[in-house]
Chain A
Amino acid sequence: MDEEEGTTSSTLAELIGEKADNFRYYLKVSGVSEIARRYFVMNAFDGAVTTLGVLIGALIGGGLSPRVILAAGMGAGIAMGVSGFFGAYLAEEAERSRKIKELEKALQIDLDDSVIDKAAKIAALTAAIIDALSPVLATAVSLIPFVFSVFGLIDAWTAFIASIGTILIFLLILGLFLGKISGERIIFYSLATTLAGLITGLFGLFLHILFS
């Protein structure tokens, strides 16, 4: 019995291993890793800066209610995630079906169910999932201090400062990641992404003047 179970689990492990290998192979053929990386940085950046906007807007509007900020921030993050999923999926799908049509014309064969076709479908889905998850992740990380605040562990103002700090650190990390990809100018990328956060703050100041 134990032996049988062992055989079943090893077969399952082999099957999962095989699927994982296929998945990796499709990713390699489609060349989606690069696109996915780009989508990740772009949308995580979007998520972090938008959350910063929500925070500054809330401060200017006069209400630092942790519950409202958490709900508004997560709402914005989820909306960006959903829009990212559909936007990326449809754009990638359109691009790749055009490419496959071109290839089918050159090869004079039907590429349905071929490695190329499967790779294209998996690539579109992978890009869409990364595009959807990255802003949600960025928003969730940025809003962690407000979760503590909702549970009464820290006050709203501390949560606000901590959240802004988290966002700036998150932007800095994104810059480091970009620098690592480019293989040079790590400081330039880190400063550029952090600067985006500071510029948002500056615009927030103008907004404050406008509203006061």
Chain B
Amino acid sequence: MAEAKIRKLVIDSLKPREISLVDLSKALCEVYGADNVSIVVNEVDANTETVTITVEGDDIDFEDLIETISEYGCAIRSVDAIEVYKDKSKSKNLNNM
């Protein structure tokens, strides 16, 4: 059975300045299915930074990603771009076996 999987996500987020980009990006890279993470700072305020988070991978776990972003005290403003593909070769269950 073919399954739709997330390959790329671009998220606009507001990050507390105490959280370093290195720590946040490393934590996001630990999310299930994420292989590459890049974060770009767009704007710097007194306490916060507006950042664009780009996550790429074979099968990104969206819920896990959102949870990790929230755990690091970041507010998600919008999902600006998404790339989803249909994995016709095998289902997620078979992958896990």
Beyond A109-B70, A109-B75, A111-B73, whether A116 also contacts B47 by CB under 8 A is: no
Cβ–Cβ < 8 Å partners of A209 in chain B: none
Q: Do residues A102 and B71 form an inter-chain contact, with CB atoms below 8 A? A: no
**Is A114 at the interface (CB under 8 A from chain B)?**
yes
Q: Within the complex, which residue of A29, A108, A117 is in contact with B19, where a contact is CB–CB below 8 Å? A: A29
Cβ–Cβ < 8 Å partners of A106 in chain B: 14, 45, 47-48
Q: Within the complex, which residue of A102, A107, A108 is in contact with B73, where a contact is CB–CB below 8 Å? A: A107
| CB of A119, distance to nearest CB on chain B (Å) | 8
**Is B16 at the interface (CB under 8 A from chain A)?**
yes
Cβ–Cβ < 8 Å partners of A113 in chain B: 71
Q: How far is the CA of A31 from the CA of B16 in the complex (A)?
A: 14
Cβ–Cβ < 8 Å partners of A108 in chain B: 14, 75
Q: How far is the CA of A116 from the CA of B72 in the complex (A)?
A: 7
Beyond A107-B16, A109-B70, A114-B70, whether A102 also contacts B75 by CB under 8 A is: no
Beyond A107-B14, A107-B48, A109-B70, whether A116 also contacts B75 by CB under 8 A is: no
Taking A29-B19, A116-B73, A119-B18 as known contacts, 17 extra A-B pairs with beta carbons closer than 8 A to each other, sorted by chain A number, are A25-B23, A103-B47, A103-B48, A103-B73, A106-B45, A107-B14, A107-B74, A108-B14, A108-B75, A109-B73, A109-B75, A111-B73, A113-B71, A115-B71, A115-B73, A116-B16, A117-B73
